[in-house]
Amino acid sequence: MKKENRSVVIWLLSGCVLLFLMVTVGGITRLTNSGLSMTDWHLVTDTFPPLTDAKWQQAFNQYKKFPEYQKINIHNDFQLSDYKFIYFWEWFHRFIGRIIGMVFLIPFIYFLIKKKLDRPTINKCIVLLGMGAFQGFLGWFMVRSGLIDNPDVSHFRLALHLTFAFITFAYTFWVALDLIYPERNNKIKTLQKIARYALVFLLIQIIYGGFVAGLNAGLIHNHWPLMGDGQFMHDSIFIEQKNLFLSFTEGKSGVQFIHRTLAYFVVALMVLLYYKSRKFSLNKGQSTGVNLLVILVFIQFVLGVFTLLYGVPLWLGLTHQINAFFLLSAMTYTLHRLSK
């Protein structure tokens, strides 16, 4: 890494850490059903939570006008103290988003003024800023879907919001890697091709992870390796929706089936990459990336199995999501080292 790029790399990696934190808090927000606690969006006045009892009561009364309270929590003896708990996680999630915006924008302007960015890096950073703004829109777009009639957000919008956060993180990490490793590797096209397929399947798996979370599909068929009743593909998949396409995109059983089946493909591709890599002379970075991928994908598989078997307890569901982040990081690093 060139000395003049050190501060820029630290800036980008700081953004990666914040994106990781935001997705982690987003996972807690989802698993604690906190996402619909803030029913409106104010850029300035929502920077801090209510500071007086009167303001808290006002926010709680506003929340009572929306479907989640009227259809679910009104029957659960839901009190102001319960509301404060779910409000905190949604507020904290949005607060980190504001911090990320400042961490990206202010140093970017500074680096522009100081002429520390070359033209390709400037273009990549502009893309990153656009991705960050779009991610904020997707968050609002997702929450809005749960404030009209249905007391839950659209699983399609949740998956889009989650997956785009992962992609934004991966692209930020890639830009940092371009500066950390300005020298070119020898491309290994065979491994590069497998790694690309692995990345595509991993992203599809992340999308379906969002579907499972949005539909609470992890709360059924809590068996492995079969879905229950001695069936690999449970009969309920064929009757829960009008056709298989809808079952595999909107049905709880169908979505869980795709998510658990895709896991085998992701593992197989990572193992294939490892096996094929033994035939090449890899440098240290390439070898480290491939080895780390295999370790993390097996950890992720085991975490997924236990998350399902135990009915998605908060700590296991969150650990499963966090390790997915580590796996995507290793995938991004490995593909970068095999490509450049």
Span 38-97, pLDDT tens digits: 887 765 557 788 889 999 999 999 999 988 889 888 888 899 999 999 999 999 999 999
3-state class of 42 per DSSP?
A: coil
Tell me the H-state helices in 149-188: 155-180
Domain ranges across the chain: 1-183, 185-340
Assess whether pLDDT exceeds 60 at residue 311: yes
What confidence score (pLDDT) does residue 229 get? 86
Cα-flanking dihedrals φ and ψ of residue 293, to 5°? Answer: -60, -50
Q: For residue 86, what are its two tokens?
A: 């779910």
**Whole-angstrom distance, CA of residue 230 vs CA of residue 324:** 29
Assess whether pLDDT exceeds 60 at residue 11: yes
What confidence score (pLDDT) does residue 45 get? 59
pLDDT digits over 191-212, tens only? 999 999 999 999 999 999 999 9
Cis peptide bond prior to 225, omega within 30° of 0: yes
What confidence score (pLDDT) does residue 277 get? 94
What confidence score (pLDDT) does residue 149 get? 81
Predicted TM-score (pTM) of this structure: 0.92
What confidence score (pLDDT) does residue 228 get? 85
Q: Identify the burial level of 295 via C-beta atoms within 10 angstroms of its C-beta, where 0-12 means exposed, 13-18 middle and 19 or more buried.
A: middle
pLDDT level of residue 183 (50, 70, 90 thresholds) = confident
DSSP structure class, residue 73? G
Average pLDDT over residues 312-340: 94
What confidence score (pLDDT) does residue 132 get? 92
